[in-house]
Amino acid sequence: MLKLNHLERNYNILKDEMIQRMNNALDYGKKLIDTELKAGLLNPVIKPLIKTFYESWSNKNAKVGTLKQINITLNCGKLLVQNGANEDKFNIVIEDNFQEYLEGDQTYIHCDKKNKKFKTLLEINKKLFIIQVNDVIKMIQTKEDVNNYDELTRVVFKTKKEAYDALIKNIDYNDEAITLVENNPNLLKVPIGKKIILRLLRKGFEYTKKELLEYLDIIYT
């Protein structure tokens, strides 16, 4: 059986990296909302209301929700490595934890659950959750001596292409979910500023995508 210290070390490396990504995205979101509101031709009474809602969405609710998703994903991967990750056990863990994982997602929380496209959004999110847990399983179980996320990535994914292929699956599912909401804006139930929220979701995603791909270049330089 894998020694606990390897699991805990890798778990902590992954958690630190995920939290850093989250903080980077939230910091970018703060700057983005100011830029969008300055550029938009909105009623001056409406602007602070939109900003207040978005800041509540991103700074408070999204941070709590994303931390919840990070912990659930990591704990599922760790549990499966400890207890054996055969297909039946994997499927049980996914089913047992998927709803709680969803409840950490701001887009899901603010969606119209009666919309005909809602089921499609759930399917995309489930595929995303599955590949995230699979990636954790791959990365958390390595016994090799690593000290940080860069080293862990290079050990698990021997080539940049392998790492890119794993990363792009995550990116593509996120893109698919955002595109679905963009094409079906009635999916999103927000009290104010829906068009701006959708623009922020898209721009935030594109920023994160660019950041992740550039960081991959650094890791394999």
Half-sphere exposure of 93 (CA within 13 A, CB side): 25
pLDDT band at residue 77 under the 50/70/90 scheme = very high
Query: What pLDDT score does 189 carry?
Result: 85
Q: What is the pLDDT of residues 121-178, one digit of tens each?
A: 999 999 999 999 999 999 999 999 999 999 999 999 999 999 999 999 999 999 999 9
DSSP per residue, 16-66: HHHHHHHHHHHHHHHHHHHHHHHHS---TTHHHHHHHHHHIIIIIIIHHHH
Residues 202 and 42: beta-carbon distance below 8 Å = no
Residues 141 and 10: beta-carbon distance below 8 Å = yes
- Which residues in 67-95 are b (16+ Cβ under 10 Å) and which e? eebbebbbebbbbbbeeebeeeebeebbe
Q: What is the pLDDT of residues 167-218, one digit of tens each?
A: 999 999 999 999 999 999 999 887 667 888 888 889 889 999 999 999 999 9
Please, what is the end-to-end C-alpha distance for the chain in angstroms? 34
Calculate the CA dihedral of residues 93, 99, 101, 107 and round it to 10 degrees: 150
| Least confident residue range of 45-49, 105-109, 119-123, 167-171 | 45-49
Query: What pLDDT score does 106 carry?
Result: 81
Closest-CA residue to 193 (of 52, 19, 13, 24): 52
Please say if the pLDDT value at position 44 is more than 70.
no
Tell me the average pLDDT across 20-49.
Answer: 71
Q: What are phi and psi of 111, to 5 degrees?
A: -95, 155
Structurally, the chain folds into a number of domains equal to 1
| Least confident residue range of 15-19, 31-35, 109-113 | 31-35
Euclidean distance between CA atoms 21 and 208, whole angstroms: 8
Query: What pLDDT score does 60 carry?
Result: 60
Query: What pLDDT score does 57 carry?
Result: 59
Euclidean distance between CA atoms 121 and 133, whole angstroms: 18
Tell me the average pLDDT across 106-134.
Answer: 93
Rg (CA), the chain: 19
Query: What pLDDT score does 74 carry?
Result: 97
3-state helix, strand, coil in the chain (%, to 5): 80, 0, 20
- Domain coverage including residue 29: 4-219
Query: What pLDDT score does 159 carry?
Result: 95
pLDDT band at residue 58 under the 50/70/90 scheme = low
Tell me the average pLDDT across 90-103.
Answer: 96
Q: Say what angle helices 118-140 and 63-83 make with each other, to 10 degrees.
A: 50
Query: What pLDDT score does 62 carry?
Result: 78
Residues 180 and 121: beta-carbon distance below 8 Å = yes
Please say if the pLDDT value at position 118 is more than 90.
yes
